[in-house]
Structure 1
Amino acid sequence: MTQRVLSDRPLANPGKLFIGGRWIPARDGRTEPDVSPIDGQEIVPVAQASAADADAAVTAARTAYEEGPWSRLSAQERALRLNRVGELIERDLEEIALLETVDMGKPFAFSSTVDAPMAAQLMHYYAGAVTRVDGSSRAPAGGQLAYTLREPLGVVCAITPFNFPLLLSMTKIAPALAAGNTVVHKPSPATPLTALKIAELFQEAEIPDGVLNVITGPGVELGETLTDHPGIDKIAFTGSTAVGQSIIRKSAGTLKKVTMELGGKSANIVFADADLDAAEELAFFGIYYNKGEICTAGSRLLLQRPIHDELVERLVRRAAALRPGDPRDPGTLFGPLAHQGQFDKVSSYIEVGEKEGAVLRAGGAGWTPEGASSRGLYFLPTVFTGVDNSMRIAQEEIFGPVLSIIPFDTEEDAVRIANDSAYGLAAGVHTKDLRRAHRVASQIKAGTVWVNCYNQYDPSVPYGGYKASGYGRECGPESLESYTQTKSVWIGMD
């Protein structure tokens, strides 16, 4: 097997924070090792910011917004600079992808073809989109003149999770900066490295000091400090529903704008008339892509009874044959889980499922690939059958490679089961009947419905949740709208 090797110095400024355009240590000098899930080895030391460091980052962002040139640049001027960042990502694409792989366990086959390229695409997309954001003139009664302006919000705090560290950072940073805001970014403490690399590229692109600030360290302490901070105007968060609810409550005191991309328990529905070969492929991809560590994972597979048994056997055989491997190998499609806490959580749900009466048909345990370190966080692709939608494994977000298969009889049954969830992030529908596809898609309470496909994304297409999956949208012009506010100007004509 060919493994791509990360350099001995993957970051130019290890153990430091990026605040006000400078790389500085945490005020108390604390660092913690960033550990790879591949083998449990330290990659680099990472600075552990304190509340004082967070305050310094907010102050730098506020100063850059109020006094610096960024918010006063024309949209075209900001676009030129953001396009430069996109070009630098493209230049360093393989290095960035490998950093993501070693830090998070994402197979290089995906980080190099999906995550890193789309990060660049997001910068280019919003560089173009912001030039089309403008106000409009109105003709109110009374003969006066009125017009609207779209203005930035101010300082945006981006709080991002461990599962798509690069992409879910850029879905926030790109539109926020394009709109003229400044940003304080707090990446997940489990996977901070690509956030720091992107900061290096912003510095190389000569983005003005303080426009982007990156602080790493303990999630709860920094999150609470930033949520409470009066110098922040908006929080853009991706993560668990419980943490999102806490941020919403705490942010109310300062009336921050918030957008929330939260958890999911997506129903992937296969009707008896579907192309079974395609449905098998998409169901497998829907749950095991990114090791199941994706909010939109098709973790509830709803199979119509006439094709239930056949598709179950296909998926069980396929899951049993798939073995995790070193994600640096370009041929690996299934790597380790991102961190120890997630490995333990996924493991705990195996016992939960069996106690509830579900049948474990494949996986359900850790795995050590041949020649790999026993400290690697590899977990076998898992399949449960005999699942009732009321079970915890069908209702709670496991966020790992655990598939719960649920039978159904009619179209009405499928819609009812799909909607019987606190979540509403995404869903899949597989059928050859176009009328059924539209009918079911319109009835499912989810922010995204894929028909005869799954886990498709593009910078121009918005995604986000219904119900406990949050509110607001990322990607598309809809996201850009959430980083601006509208001002009305009246001109007396008398």
Structure 2
Amino acid sequence: MSTSIDHGATLDLSRPNTHLHIGSERLAEGSAGVFEHVNPATGDVDKEIPLAGPREVDRAVETAHEAYKSWRTSQPAHRRNLLLKLADLIEAHGDEFARRGAMDNGTPLAVGTGMVTTSVEWTRYYAGWADKLSSDVTSTITADGEFGYTLRQPYGVIGIIITWNGPLISLAMKIPAALAAGNTVVVKPSELTPFSGELFADLVAEAGFPPGVVNILPGDAAAGASLVSHPKVQKVSFTGGPATARKILAACAEDMKPAVLELGGKSANIVFDDADLDAACGLGTMMAVGLLSGQGCAFPTRMLVQDNIYDDVLARVAAVAGSVVPGDPFAPNIMTGPVVNKAAYERILGVIEQAKADGARLLTGGQALSLGGDNAGGYFIEPTVFADVDPWSDLAQNEVFGPVLAITKFSTEEEAIEIANATRYGLSGYIQTKDLKRGLRVAEAMVTGEVLINGAANLAVNRPFGGLGVSGLGKEGGFAGIDEFLRTKGVAIA
């Protein structure tokens, strides 16, 4: 199926038309009307996006349910080969996916290219699991002659709802694992980021997946609610915020439907006095205020610094943050683009003003940024760093999801652990130290779903990823990531 741009489209001619992909159909209209997609780098409407309503969601789920009957019994090697073909196609269309990411949410091309590589890795990894799933013997022949074993079986139709900050990666973290396990999927991408999902759906068809195995239809919150509550959706996998997750859990509770929830974070990056400060301050700062303009759930947005290196670290962090130059996401060598939309732009600027009012010391940034020219109306914010942040303040306790880093001083290892754990979130934790014993000790004490020692978030496909507390339930990555899409049945032979 062609992935070329439709130059007959209205509004911005560089944006492709999008569709609702149900089975083998590509619908140009949805019953929920259209969404006016805004280019965050300019502030201008660039495309009208058709939105699925409850009617299309129901059709997609019924289609996926019918496809499941044959897909679940297909040969594992067949599922593996189709997923490997899909991975090859994603890789071959890497430049276009990077361009779609810039269209979707302003992800710079240089960053989007790396996200494509990660997505290819996730797709190939779970392709490899398709023919390696096995069951267990639970007992040998006993005195009464019973023999027991288990079966790992797919659920059926999986309802997938993804957020806007990494549309391709979110698809690759969820869909291949669900398909390798033998499930079919109905996916609702965010209406804010429809262009990557459009290309992904085209490549699914080109790879040769049977119609109905993967259904992708952009929609708003009402479409998501219809998907979650549909009686033939057997499990939900969601990436987004805690407020929406609570609504999903409430809907799932009606039918005791399980859910995987990958939510937000307020991850602490503990910098001890023996750390490699060039690495700790460079990568940690870039992850917090540079990459994706700070719009990442696992980013180290709280930096906890030991008191005897505090001033040195502040100087290093300010220099790194000051070197980050936001720009047009299509421009070469730009690593930081706009935030996703006007609402996020205004909210983040409000957080910055509140932090000032709460007494945090502004180290660098803190202002809206106008690039002028075609980008004069874009949603750009200076990379912003606050020092002397009260660990109980709003800035330290609440996820910003923008280019804002909060730095707090600590004296002892015990104090650092206490501050790191003093939050409702529990997604990721970071430790910077040359003392391996201390690193392992602190990693064990941090109440998070993952800890990285002397590193930063990298979404390694073979490592389980997922949080605690309001950071979510369940795991993605590793065997745990495919096991989420399998349910175990015990069998006994008398």
TM above 0.5, one fold? yes
CA distance in structure 2 between the aligned counterparts of 1:452 and 1:7, rounded to whole angstroms: 46
CA distance in structure 2 between the aligned counterparts of 1:136 and 1:46, rounded to whole angstroms: 47
1:468 aligned to which of 438, 453, 470: 470
> Structure 2: which amino acid aligns with 1:46?
I
Structure 1 residue 330: deviation in Å? 2.7
CA distance in structure 2 between the aligned counterparts of 1:6 and 1:372, rounded to whole angstroms: 22
**Further displaced range: 283-292 or 403-412:** 283-292
CA distance in structure 2 between the aligned counterparts of 1:366 and 1:374, rounded to whole angstroms: 11
Residue 66 of structure 2: aligned partner: 63
Q: Provide closer, same or farther for how the CA distance between residues 70 and 366 of structure 1 changes in structure 2, counting only shifts above 3 A.
A: same
CA distance in structure 1 between the aligned counterparts of 2:159 and 2:31, rounded to whole angstroms: 23
**Further displaced range: 312-321 or 327-336:** 312-321
Q: In the alignment, does 2:119 pair up with 1:119?
A: yes
C-alpha contact (below 8 Å) 1:6/1:99 kept by paired residues: no
> Structure 2: which amino acid aligns with 1:331?
N
Residue 36 of structure 1: aligned partner: 39
**Further displaced range: 417-426 or 334-343:** 334-343
Structure 1 residue 382: deviation in Å? 0.4
Residue 175 of structure 1: aligned partner: 177
C-alpha contact (below 8 Å) 1:268/1:302 kept by paired residues: yes
> Structure 2: which amino acid aligns with 1:287?
A
Residue 337 of structure 1: aligned partner: 339
Q: In the alignment, does 2:52 pair up with 1:46?
A: no
Structure 1 residue 13: deviation in Å? 7.3
SS of residue in 1 equivalent to 2:491: strand
Aligned residue runs from structure 1 range 480-491, under 5 A = 480-491=482-493
Q: Provide closer, same or farther for how the CA distance between residues 11 and 223 of structure 1 changes in structure 2, counting only shifts above 3 A.
A: farther
Q: In the alignment, does 2:74 pair up with 1:91?
A: no
SS of residue in 1 equivalent to 2:36: strand
Residue 204 of structure 1: aligned partner: 206
Structure 1 residue 71: deviation in Å? 1.1
For residues 78-110 of structure 1, the C-alpha deviation after alignment (integer angstroms, 9 at most, x for no partner) is 001111111111111101111112211111111
SS of residue in 2 equivalent to 1:131: coil
Q: Provide closer, same or farther for how the CA distance between residues 467 and 326 of structure 1 changes in structure 2, counting only shifts above 3 A.
A: same
Residue 381 of structure 1: aligned partner: 383
SS of residue in 2 equivalent to 1:329: coil
CA distance in structure 2 between the aligned counterparts of 1:327 and 1:346, rounded to whole angstroms: 20
Which runs of no fewer than 5 residues in structure 2 stay unpaired?
none
Residue 134 of structure 2: aligned partner: 134
**Further displaced range: 439-448 or 99-108:** 99-108
C-alpha contact (below 8 Å) 1:30/1:48 kept by paired residues: yes
C-alpha contact (below 8 Å) 2:15/2:103 kept by paired residues: no
Q: Provide closer, same or farther for how the CA distance between residues 39 and 281 of structure 1 changes in structure 2, counting only shifts above 3 A.
A: same
SS of residue in 1 equivalent to 2:405: strand
Aligned residue runs from structure 1 range 305-454, under 5 A = 305-454=307-456
Residue 232 of structure 2: aligned partner: 231
SS of residue in 2 equivalent to 1:342: helix
C-alpha contact (below 8 Å) 1:46/1:217 kept by paired residues: no
Structure 1 residue 285: deviation in Å? 2.2
C-alpha contact (below 8 Å) 1:26/1:50 kept by paired residues: no
CA distance in structure 1 between the aligned counterparts of 2:170 and 2:332, rounded to whole angstroms: 23
SS of residue in 2 equivalent to 1:64: helix
Q: Provide closer, same or farther for how the CA distance between residues 458 and 268 of structure 1 changes in structure 2, counting only shifts above 3 A.
A: same
CA distance in structure 2 between the aligned counterparts of 1:292 and 1:385, rounded to whole angstroms: 17
For residues 218-259 of structure 1, the C-alpha deviation after alignment (integer angstroms, 9 at most, x for no partner) is 2x2112111211110010011111211111111110121101
C-alpha contact (below 8 Å) 1:26/1:53 kept by paired residues: no
Which runs of no fewer than 5 residues in structure 1 stay unpaired?
none
Structure 1 residue 12: deviation in Å? 10
C-alpha contact (below 8 Å) 1:13/1:23 kept by paired residues: no
> Structure 2: which amino acid aligns with 1:410?
T
C-alpha contact (below 8 Å) 2:286/2:321 kept by paired residues: no
Structure 1 residue 25: deviation in Å? 3.1
Structure 1 residue 372: deviation in Å? 4.0
CA distance in structure 1 between the aligned counterparts of 2:161 and 2:440, rounded to whole angstroms: 35
C-alpha contact (below 8 Å) 1:6/1:98 kept by paired residues: no
In the superposition, the TM-score normalised over structure 2's length comes to 0.94
- How many percent of aligned residue pairs carry the same amino acid? 35
Q: In the alignment, does 2:25 pair up with 1:22?
A: yes
CA distance in structure 1 between the aligned counterparts of 2:433 and 2:313, rounded to whole angstroms: 14
CA distance in structure 1 between the aligned counterparts of 2:32 and 2:389, rounded to whole angstroms: 50
CA distance in structure 1 between the aligned counterparts of 2:371 and 2:122, rounded to whole angstroms: 35
C-alpha contact (below 8 Å) 2:425/2:470 kept by paired residues: yes
C-alpha contact (below 8 Å) 1:162/1:188 kept by paired residues: yes
In the superposition, the TM-score normalised over structure 1's length comes to 0.94
